[in-house]
Amino acid sequence: MSVILGINTFHAGSSAALIIDGEPVVALAEERLNRVKYYAGFPKLSINKCLEIAGLSFADIDSVAVGRDSSANLHKKLEFALKHPTKLLNLARMRGKSKTFDDLKSLIIKECETDAAKLKFKTYNVEHHLAHTASAYFISDWDKCAGITIDGSGDFVSCLLSDCVGDEIRPLKKIFVPHSLGTLYTAVCQFIGYGKYGDEGKVMGLAPLGTDSYHDFFENMLKPTENGFELNPAYFLPFGANQGMEINDAGEMIVHRLYSDLFIKNLGEPRERHGEITRRDNDVAFGLQRVFEKYYMHLLDSLHKLVPSERISMAGGCALNSVANGKMLLETPFRETCIQPAAGDDGLALGAALYVSNSILKEGKRRVMKNSYLGDEYSDSFIKSELERYKLSYKELSREELLEATTEEIKSGNVIGWFQGKMEWGPRALGNRSILAHPGFPNMKDILNARIKHRESFRPFAPSVLRERQSELFEQNHPSPFMLHVYKIRPEWRERLSAVNHVDDTGRLQTVARDENPLYYDLIKKFESKTGIPVILNTSFNENEPIVCQPFEAIECFLRTKMDVLVIGSFFCKKDG
Ligand SMILES: [Fe+2]
């Protein structure tokens, strides 16, 4: 038996993953366990949980892989330091820190309080973007494809174009910091009041409300190069070697101001975080998404020239831009995507482990990742004891009764907390830790926002659709099992899907095939049999917090909010009145 532990540590999205004989068996983000969003410290709880779920101990681990390598791209770091002598000290400090982080064995002994004498594992540092690429390519069943990873930065790189062949990832082109599409996106988000780490998705949702009022401003922000791009430094404050990011003592990501005064000169004062969203802000969001897509497609076209395949594996935080992912299938020569569901840095734990299994140890045991359910699960007896602890009245139902009762509630316009099976890996709730509702019930979006989610009214909710009905409802038929593509909704369905139809008549859909999640599939199927609509509205099970992980968090969220029903394991709980 070969046991590989992958970790992402001292980077946003701290996480751990366990691969046994080539198969990913557990993967968890630390934020779900310690409840600190995008936690960037050491993934102590998730490492312990991975071992507990797999029934293993530290002594059973053969290899530990981390998605960072401080010795990578040293020539570029040196070049940067020479150009920015004031940052030299900072860089030296970061490198000193990184070297400490690279001593994985000592870190694990210290942080996990394990007995050094029992440990037999070898350690591997996998360069950040190789780990991202591995996280996508090695979950596909392809022997060959193009690979792209785009993010803010990691190991001094913001984009990697690769040729993926057999068990190898061959890097072809790197874009080095400070040039970064991720940083550009974050800088503009920050200007319009979305400055928290991870706010980018909200601005993507805001973009279709705007118009192309600031075309030249955005065009001047960067320029294309052969196979890449360069940022215009006049638009940004010098980022430093850390691209303007820092981790505070609580393990939270802090983003320093990234945009220069040129923004204020051209666009006026920045929006305060909770200030009114004006037409200017909508238009800035539009301009950002437009220019981002332009360069996304430029990178993809460049990659296709280097690797003329119709298949592409994708990861890195920018690969979560589901709007661009939908359009790329129409605007570039690529026809099939395989995107890691944890495309952000949380995915590095799995990617680093997959890289070691496939490219270093050449285990030759690659498995296709059919779904993202790699987290923890709870037995009915445990859930029952938790319901009793909270004095909740419940009905214990058979599978069929549960599907019948839940779909009746959804049909009547009630809001359901749905907690089933193993937790999802990655930022999206995909039918196991989800809040579910009718996708076409009048005002359902407002109901959800007022009663539970308290989100900005412009942000869309997502549709989960039966895979075989997708092309009838949406204009594109490429599957989207991890909710990473946005497609146009066909005109005849827009009214019936009013709660999941965004202002530009699109939906960020999750396609559900029966072999990926039988219970969730059967639920949508039953809803379809009652209403003729093969779609359920799916949003994450949380209220301004990381997605619920354990039953008690689901119960507390149910009690705290105005959710109508909680369906947890085999148990059905409905609030009175
Ligand atoms: Fe990254």
Ligand 1 mean position, distance from CA 67 (Å): 9
pLDDT, residue 59, reads 96
What's the pLDDT band for 87 if we cut at 50, 70, 90? Answer: low
State yes or no: pLDDT of 375 exceeds 70.
yes
Region 201-218 average pLDDT:
96
Question: CA dist 381 to 385, 388, 469, 518, Å?
Answer: 6, 11, 36, 22
| pLDDT tens-digit map of 340-350 | 999 999 999 99
pLDDT, residue 577, reads 64
> Which residues make beta-bridge pairs with 230?
223
- A 10 A CB-CB count for 259 gives 22
pLDDT, residue 294, reads 98
Ligand 1 mean position, distance from CA 514 (Å): 32
Region 211-232 average pLDDT:
96
Q: What percent of the chain has pLDDT over 70?
A: 96
> Which residues make beta-bridge pairs with 180?
none
pLDDT, residue 237, reads 92
pLDDT, residue 92, reads 54
DSSP assigned state of 59:
G
Region 409-422 average pLDDT:
98
Ligand 1 mean position, distance from CA 316 (Å): 5
pLDDT, residue 299, reads 98
Which of 211, 216, 221 lies closest to 191 in space, CA to CA? Answer: 221
Residue 417: half-sphere exposure toward Cβ, Cα within 13 Å = 33
What is the amino acid identity at position 41? G
| pLDDT tens-digit map of 509-563 | 999 999 999 999 999 999 999 999 999 999 999 998 999 999 999 999 999 999 9
| pLDDT tens-digit map of 256-279 | 999 999 999 999 999 999 899 999
pLDDT, residue 102, reads 61
pLDDT, residue 250, reads 87
Give the CA angle between residues 143, 358, 134 to the nearest 5°.
75
Ligand 1 mean position, distance from CA 270 (Å): 27
Which of 288, 94, 248 lies closest to 177 in space, CA to CA? Answer: 94
**Which contacts qualify for 103-108: CB closer than 8 Å, 24 or more apart?**
104/7, 104/64, 104/66, 105/64, 107/9, 107/42, 108/47, 108/58, 108/64
Contact criterion met (CB below 8 Å) for 357 and 2? yes
Ligand 1 mean position, distance from CA 135 (Å): 11
Ligand 1 mean position, distance from CA 314 (Å): 12
Contact criterion met (CB below 8 Å) for 206 and 189? no
Ligand 1 mean position, distance from CA 62 (Å): 25
Cα Rg of the chain, angstroms? 23
Ligand 1 mean position, distance from CA 233 (Å): 22
Q: Which residues contact 173 (CB under 8 A, 6 or more apart)?
A: 159, 160, 161, 227, 228, 302, 306
Backbone angles phi, psi at 55, to 5 degrees: 70, 35
- A 10 A CB-CB count for 394 gives 18
Q: Left (φ > 0), alpha (ψ -120 to 50) or beta: where does 240 sit?
A: left
Ligand 1 mean position, distance from CA 149 (Å): 8
d(CA 173, CA 227): 8
d(CA 172, CA 130): 12
Choose between 418 and 93: higher pLDDT: 418
Ligand 1 mean position, distance from CA 69 (Å): 13
- A 10 A CB-CB count for 110 gives 12
Ligand 1 mean position, distance from CA 271 (Å): 27
d(CA 316, CA 224): 20
**Which contacts qualify for 114-117: CB closer than 8 Å, 24 or more apart?**
114/58, 115/58
pLDDT, residue 115, reads 87
Read off the pTM: 0.95
In the chain, helix, strand, coil percent, each to 5? 40, 20, 40
pLDDT, residue 74, reads 75
pLDDT, residue 240, reads 72
pLDDT, residue 442, reads 85
**First vs last Cα of the chain: how many Å apart?**
55
Ligand 1 mean position, distance from CA 183 (Å): 11
| pLDDT tens-digit map of 333-372 | 999 999 999 999 999 999 999 999 999 999 999 999 999 9
Q: What percent of the chain has pLDDT over 90?
A: 84
SS3 563: coil
pLDDT, residue 138, reads 98
| pLDDT tens-digit map of 295-318 | 999 999 999 999 999 999 999 999
Ligand 1 mean position, distance from CA 155 (Å): 9
Ligand 1 mean position, distance from CA 436 (Å): 31
Ligand 1 mean position, distance from CA 68 (Å): 10
Any idea which of 17-21, 74-78, 229-233, 298-302 has the lowest mean pLDDT? 74-78
| pLDDT tens-digit map of 45-81 | 999 999 999 999 999 999 999 999 888 777 777 777 6
| pLDDT tens-digit map of 95-118 | 555 555 568 888 899 999 898 888
